[in-house]
Amino acid sequence: MKILMVCLGNICRSPLAEGIMKTKVPGNFFVDSAGTISMHEGEHPDKRAVQTAANHGIKISNQRSRPITKADFDTFDKIYCMDIDVMADVVSKTRNEEQRQKVSLFLEVLGDHENAEVPDPYWGDMKNFEEVFQLLDRGCDAIKSQILS
């Protein structure tokens, strides 16, 4: 199973989601992250995301930002988007319905958050990063349960 987490710049939400998910799935799973923009391409995750993950025993400091590519739609089985705008951008890059079916809003898996978005903590403080971490952790647990059931 190959899972891709996608946010805007691939320096806050999706690197955290990638790091969290990697701690929850078996080693034969491949988890990666990407952004819909290339502004931060090649950069490490935001220092606040790195610190928040480290506070929970997860190392994401070696990750590098990258934009989503057309090849990702062939490579990945599931593509989870952090918010509606990101999802619209990702869906616009799909070439067919099969690829479109791989794309979903990350929080849809929690049921009661069907249209909820993972807030972007970039303009916030460490408290916002921790809140996002907790939301992503719950979502990753639900995704794991769904995929492994």
What structural domains and CATH numbers belong to the chain? Answer: 2-144 (3.40.50.2300)
Contact residues for 47 (Cβ-Cβ < 8 A; gap 6+)? none
Looking at residue 60, its pLDDT comes to: 98
The tens place of each residue's pLDDT in the chain, 149 residues long, gives 999 999 999 999 999 999 999 999 999 999 999 999 999 999 999 999 999 999 999 999 999 999 999 999 999 999 999 999 999 999 999 999 999 999 999 999 888 665 689 999 999 999 999 999 999 999 999 999 999 98
- Tokens 């057309």, residue located: 70
Tokens of 117: 């978005």
pTM value surpassing 0.85: yes
Active site amino acids: 7, 13, 120
Neighbouring CB atoms inside 10 A of 141's CB total 15
Looking at residue 115, its pLDDT comes to: 64
Spatial contact of 106 and 85, defined as CB atoms under 8 Å apart: no
Looking at residue 116, its pLDDT comes to: 83
Looking at residue 110, its pLDDT comes to: 86
CA angle 32, 62, 7 (to 5 degrees): 40
| Of 143, 133, 104, 98, the residue nearest 14 (C-alpha) | 133
